[in-house]
Amino acid sequence: MICVKSEEEIALLRAPNAIVRDCLKFVGERIRAGMTTKDVDTLVHDFITASGAVPSCLGYCGYPASACVSVNEEVVHGIPGDRVLAEGDIVSVDLCAYRNGFHGDAARTFCIGKVSEEKQRLVRVTEECFFRAIEGLKAGTPLFDIGYKVQQYAESNGFSVIRSYTGHGIGREMHEDPSVPNFGRKGTGVRLQAGTVLCIEPMIAAGSWRVRVLDDGWTAVTVDGRPAAHYENAVVIREDGVEILTL
């Protein structure tokens, strides 16, 4: 069941989402070659707690960190650890914060130093997939138009869309209905109502969309070992468009 938010609830959602936005900016200004993924997690943990919020990922279904830090062939849910970031890597940082009784959630993919043309294009196209998806999105839009637009744009650029992870609703829970796939048929799915809050999060692979989960139980990697990128924002569906909470 999709929980449509009141204006009061949307007002409460602004703080955790603004903390996530600011934290991603903070990380983007500091992430560099030589840091471990655990160092990135420490930046995130300390920023969120210093902001008076709780890192929602920490302990979620047993997840052991405050951020998901996924490098190159890692698609999502990379557990921070000893992996050292190197020039040429692309690193997706996905994080959630809880405050006011509500969650915020967003992700960015950062380039470490100079990265290959293909990775640069992958990161750019993944971001552009999000902006394509919100073009014309407003109350009354069929849910799967979002995925349709992401898939069209990703595939027209020669990339593929991850199938086994999706966007989601967000609110008092980090993951609420509906599931928001990054693929779909135009004109299908429920018509979104004003006040619905969604995390739209294209996860795009340079090669095949097939993924597997490592023995750590979390880290999703591409089966072909080629890179993937991730970009996510939380948005409110309005009568005449969307309001982005994490930009």
Residue ranges that bind ligand MF3, judged by CB under 6 A: 57, 60-61, 63, 68, 77, 94, 96, 105, 199, 201, 232
Which residue number, 74 or 105, has a Cβ lying nearer to Co ion? 105
Taking the complex as a whole, how short is the minimal distance between the CB of residue 187 and ligand MF3, in angstroms?
26
Residue 53 tokens read as 């919020």
Which residue number, 35 or 48, has a Cβ lying nearer to Co ion? 48
> Rounded CA gap, 36 and 43, in Å?
11
41 binds, among Co ion, ligand MF3, none (CB under 5 to 8 A by kind): none
Which residue number, 2 or 121, has a Cβ lying nearer to Co ion? 2
Taking the complex as a whole, how short is the minimal distance between the CB of residue 165 and Co ion, in angstroms?
9
57 binds, among Co ion, ligand MF3, none (CB under 5 to 8 A by kind): ligand MF3
Decide: 117 and 158 in contact? Cβ < 8 Å. no
- In the complex, the residues that contact Co ion under the rule CB under 5 A are 105, 199
Taking the complex as a whole, how short is the minimal distance between the CB of residue 141 and ligand MF3, in angstroms?
21
> Rounded CA gap, 199 and 176, in Å?
10
Taking the complex as a whole, how short is the minimal distance between the CB of residue 231 and Co ion, in angstroms?
11
> Rounded CA gap, 155 and 171, in Å?
31
- 124: CB partners within 8 A, 6+ apart: none
Measured over the CA atoms of residue 147, residue 153, residue 156 and residue 160, the dihedral's sign is negative
> Rounded CA gap, 123 and 127, in Å?
6
26 binds, among ligand MF3, Co ion, none (CB under 5 to 8 A by kind): none
